[in-house]
């Protein structure tokens, strides 16, 4: 294997000749051989957008030549296109400010930018710190990249996934609106509702979660850029941060701004805690929906069995013909992971000391993992389960007919205590509710048929 010698302020180090990174990235690889979790791809892409925007802002300020600016821009665009994915090898478990990942990007863009300048026969040469990192510090670039990556992941991926499942559930709610089924509270029989009403509750959960996530993610559009090392903006023009935010907005869409208070932006990550809290709320709703689906589809002969779901794959290596609610299981596991991620993010965000929080990579990793997992699992649950939900009318009608809680409709006519006695007697003797009611002498069979009508118990006008 061929190597080249790279230098930084600590001396020389050997780097594989075909790698685009330089000394500081190589030192990180050697010093942090911890785990297999790499810096999220979304953060790398956001860094490339940031460096391109910073080069434009520095050129606008007269600090960076047009040739250097265009070389950085071209190299950054190549990163965004995925050309240099293999040249961002660093793990999450590194310096808590993300310094090495910032330098990884600086080094790759400088090396590739210098190749571009050489191809143009330019005498200029890019330096990773002096040019690509001009007017910046890892302390303001990494939190900026975190926010840009988070906003893009939520708006471009998670929101559309929510909308897709929401549309499916809306269609199912309308389709099954006329099917009366027994309700359940405390896992026990309750008064009737329609299957459509039940599913409409699931749909509204997603609608509410979407609104909360949309509102919270707007807080992440404030960027730390311009704060440099400790929030004072040392070595950066006061207009640099707003200019970078403007260029990022043009590149990725939406209105990003430079944070009003950079001292807050460098040491606090409450915006990501807030947004992930809304994402956790979505995970909680996803857990409930997935659990309801697998309970309602349980059986097929000894469970509730009121709905059927697609049979996607064999469910057992020993029991022939068994089919399991695997999409529900996958979605609930994702929900559990997101809830764990929320605990990590909350604790990590609480660890800002003085002018800097040094838990940034783990916050970014867990936040983006939650978004990615929920996006993928909601789409999978929709495509492989929700679209195929059907009502099992025979089972539903049998459950309604056998329910003792239909006795609730007798309360206004004979009172709670007499109605309760009728239900308990029917359960004890194994008779129908109607038989027990007539036997009680509190009402006639004709009155029972008039008063106990499930279709009048579902709140529909």
Q: How far apart are CA 111 and CA 21, in angstroms?
A: 7
Residue with tokens 């022939």: 320
Residue 195 domain flag: yes
The annotation status of 403 as a binding-site residue, yes or no, is: no
Domain span including residue 421? 404-456
- Does one domain contain both 219 and 297? yes
pLDDT for 460? 67
Q: Angle at the Cα of 40 (from 36 to 45), degrees rounded to 5?
A: 145
The annotation status of 298 as a binding-site residue, yes or no, is: no
The annotation status of 185 as a binding-site residue, yes or no, is: yes
Count each helix (H run) and each strand (E run) in the chain, helices first.
17, 10
Q: Which residues pair with 390 in a beta bridge?
A: 308
The annotation status of 28 as a binding-site residue, yes or no, is: no
Query: φ, ψ for residue 14 (rounded to 5)?
Result: -90, 135
Q: Are the C-beta atoms of 228 and 236 separated by less than 8 Å?
A: yes
The annotation status of 370 as a binding-site residue, yes or no, is: no
Residue 148 domain flag: no
- The residue from 363, 390, 417 where one domain ends is 390
Quick one: which of 279, 280, 145, 142 has its CA closest to 217? 279
Residue 71 domain flag: yes
Q: Are the C-beta atoms of 162 and 99 separated by less than 8 Å?
A: no
DSSP annotation string for 217-277:
HGGGGEE-TT-TTTSS-TTS-TTHHHHHHHHHHHHHSS--EE-S-HHHHHH--HHHHHHHH
Residue 95 domain flag: yes
Q: Are the C-beta atoms of 46 and 145 separated by less than 8 Å?
A: yes
Residue 288 domain flag: yes
- Does one domain contain both 127 and 158? no
Residue 377 bears catalytic tag: no
Residue with tokens 């600090």: 63
- Positions in the chain short of pLDDT 70: 460-461
Residue 173 domain flag: yes
pLDDT for 161? 98
Residue 121 bears catalytic tag: no
Can you read off the two tokens belonging to residue 172?
A: 């199912």
- Does one domain contain both 111 and 36? yes
Residue 139 domain flag: no
Q: How far apart are CA 23 and CA 107, in angstroms?
A: 8
- The residue from 357, 390, 423 where one domain ends is 390
3-state SS, residue 39? coil
The annotation status of 139 as a binding-site residue, yes or no, is: yes
- Does one domain contain both 81 and 168? no
- Does one domain contain both 77 and 18? yes
- Does one domain contain both 40 and 164? no
Q: Which 8-state DSSP code applies to residue 312?
A: -
- Does one domain contain both 59 and 179? no
For 116, 338, 353, the CA distances from 283, given in Å and listed in that order, are 46, 7, 30
The annotation status of 322 as a binding-site residue, yes or no, is: yes
Helical segments of 301-384, H only? 326-349, 360-384
- Does one domain contain both 294 and 320? yes
pLDDT for 461? 52
Residue with tokens 């080094």: 107
- The residue from 134, 164, 199 where one domain ends is 134
Can you read off the two tokens belonging to residue 266?
A: 């460098």
Q: How far apart are CA 437 and CA 425, in angstroms?
A: 9
Quick one: which of 133, 117, 134 has its CA closest to 66? 117
Q: Which of 87, 121, 147, 186 is catalytic?
A: 186
- Does one domain contain both 327 and 356? yes
pLDDT for 185? 98
The annotation status of 317 as a binding-site residue, yes or no, is: yes
Query: φ, ψ for residue 95 (rounded to 5)?
Result: -60, 140
The annotation status of 382 as a binding-site residue, yes or no, is: no
The annotation status of 362 as a binding-site residue, yes or no, is: no
Q: Which residues contact 158 (CB under 8 A, 6 or more apart)?
A: 213, 279, 371, 374, 375
Count up the domains in the chain and report the number: 3
Q: Which of 122, 135, 298, 316 is catalytic?
A: 316
- Does one domain contain both 332 and 205? yes
Residue 226 domain flag: yes
- Does one domain contain both 169 and 87? no
Q: Are the C-beta atoms of 21 and 107 separated by less than 8 Å?
A: yes
- Does one domain contain both 293 and 363? yes
Q: How far apart are CA 92 and CA 181, in angstroms?
A: 50
The annotation status of 324 as a binding-site residue, yes or no, is: yes
């Amino acid at each position: 294997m061929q190597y080249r010698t790279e230098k930084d302020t600590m001396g020389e180090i050997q780097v594989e000749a075909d790698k685009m990174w330089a000394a500081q990235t190589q030192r990180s690889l050697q010093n942090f051989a911890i785990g297999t979790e790499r810096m999220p791809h979304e953060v790398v892409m956001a860094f490339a957008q940031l460096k391109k925007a910073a080069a434009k802002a520095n050129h606008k300020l007269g600090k960076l030549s047009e040739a250097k600016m265009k070389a950085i821009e071209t190299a950054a665009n190549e990163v965004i296109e995925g050309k240099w994915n293999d040249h961002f090898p660093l793990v999450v478990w590194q310096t808590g400010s993300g310094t090495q990942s910032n330098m990884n990007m600086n080094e790759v863009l400088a090396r590739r930018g210098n190749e571009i300048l050489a191809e143009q026969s330019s005498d200029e040469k890019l330096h990773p710190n002096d040019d690509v990192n001009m007017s910046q510090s890892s302390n303001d670039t990494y939190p900026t990249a975190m926010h840009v990556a988070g906003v893009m992941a939520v708006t471009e991926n998670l929101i559309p996934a929510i909308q897709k499942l929401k549309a499916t559930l809306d269609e199912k709610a309308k389709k099954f609106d006329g099917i009366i089924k027994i309700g359940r509270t405390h896992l026990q029989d309750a008064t009737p509702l329609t299957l459509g009403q039940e599913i409409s509750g699931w749909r509204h959960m997603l609608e509410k979660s979407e609104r909360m996530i949309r509102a919270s993610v707007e807080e992440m559009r404030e960027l730390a850029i311009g704060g440099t090392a400790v929030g004072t903006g040392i070595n950066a023009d006061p207009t640099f941060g707003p200019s970078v935010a403007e260029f990022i907005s043009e590149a990725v869409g939406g209105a990003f701004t430079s944070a009003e208070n950079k001292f807050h932006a460098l040491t606090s990550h409450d915006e990501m805690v807030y947004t992930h809290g809304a994402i956790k709320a979505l995970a909680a709703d996803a857990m409930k929906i997935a659990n309801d689906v697998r309970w309602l589809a349980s059986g097929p002969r000894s469970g509730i069995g009121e709905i059927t779901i697609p049979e996607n794959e064999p469910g057992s290596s020993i029991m022939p013909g068994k089919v399991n609610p695997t999409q529900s299981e996958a979605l609930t596991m994702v929900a559990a992971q997101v809830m764990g991620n929320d605990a990590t993010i909350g604790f990590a965000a609480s660890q800002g000391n003085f002018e800097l929080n040094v838990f940034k990579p783990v916050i970014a990793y867990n936040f983006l993992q939650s978004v990615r997992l929920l996006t993928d699992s909601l789409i999978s649950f929709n495509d492989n389960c929700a679209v195929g939900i059907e009502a099992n009318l025979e089972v539903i009608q049998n459950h309604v007919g056998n329910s003792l809680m239909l006795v609730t409709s007798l309360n206004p006519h004979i009172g709670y205590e007499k109605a309760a006695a009728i239900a308990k007697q029917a359960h004890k003797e194994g008779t129908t509710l109607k038989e027990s009611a007539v036997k009680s002498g509190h009402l006639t069979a004709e009155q029972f048929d008039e008063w106990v009508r499930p279709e009048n118990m579902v709140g529909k006008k």
